[in-house]
């Protein structure tokens, strides 16, 4: 009988449950956006930040964020803002988590500027912390250089 290769999340779960790490955080791109990954993190006590795959449902959630909820991002491009709302990403039984969204005005004259008012980048997270700080970690720092990566925590 062939044995399947363990996934990255199952390896992290095994290491975390074996006590190899404390305060472990998974930081992942949209390729890992799944209920199975989030559930494995919860089971192992691992915090997560996972970039979402934008779809019509998410665009509806983002559209409901009030204008006064958006805060300018001082370290990003002019016209970039960040906001937070709650979201249940993986079905009715999954927990509600934070959805942190960055919006950026398209470059004037670009094709994108003809179609939309903003381009969006969003991630779901169960991490604690200020919205702007979590967004900054995601936007500015490669995962292998996060401050927490050097202190027994890898971070999205």
Distance CA(31)–CA(28), nearest Å, equals 8
What is the model's pTM?
0.72
pLDDT at 14: 44
Can you tell me the mean pLDDT for 114-118? 76
* Greatest extent of the chain over all pairs of C-alpha atoms, in Å: 58
Query: Given the DSSP bridges, would you call strands 47-51 and 25-28 parallel, antiparallel or unpaired?
Result: parallel
Distance CA(42)–CA(44), nearest Å, equals 5
Residue 146: pLDDT over 80: no
Tell me the two tokens of residue 153.
């925590």
* pLDDT tens readout for residues 20-56: 555 788 888 889 999 999 999 999 999 999 999 989 9
pLDDT at 24: 85
Q: 139 falls in which pLDDT band (50, 70, 90)?
A: low
> Please, what are the domains in the chain?
23-150 (3.90.350.10)
Distance CA(130)–CA(120), nearest Å, equals 19
pLDDT at 75: 75
Q: Could you tell me the CA-to-CA distances from 76 to 23, 71, 103, 131 in Å, in that order?
A: 28, 12, 11, 14
Q: How big is the chain by its Cα radius of gyration, in Å?
A: 17
């Amino acid at each position: 009988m062939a044995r399947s290769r363990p996934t990255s999340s199952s390896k992290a779960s095994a290491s975390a449950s074996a006590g190899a790490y404390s305060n472990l955080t998974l930081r992942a791109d949209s390729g890992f956006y799944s209920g199975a990954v989030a559930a494995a993190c919860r089971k192992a006590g691992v915090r997560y930040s996972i970039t979402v795959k934008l779809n019509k449902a998410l665009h509806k959630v983002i559209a409901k964020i009030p204008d006064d909820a958006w805060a300018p991002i001082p370290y990003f491009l002019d016209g970039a803002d960040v906001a937070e709302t709650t979201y249940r990403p993986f079905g009715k039984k999954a927990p509600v988590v934070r959805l942190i969204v960055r919006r950026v005005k398209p470059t004037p004259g670009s094709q994108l500027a003809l179609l939309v008012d903003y381009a969006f980048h969003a991630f779901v997270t169960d991490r604690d912390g200020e919205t702007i700080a979590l967004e900054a970690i995601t936007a500015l720092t490669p995962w292998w250089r996060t401050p927490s990566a050097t202190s027994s925590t890898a971070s999205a």
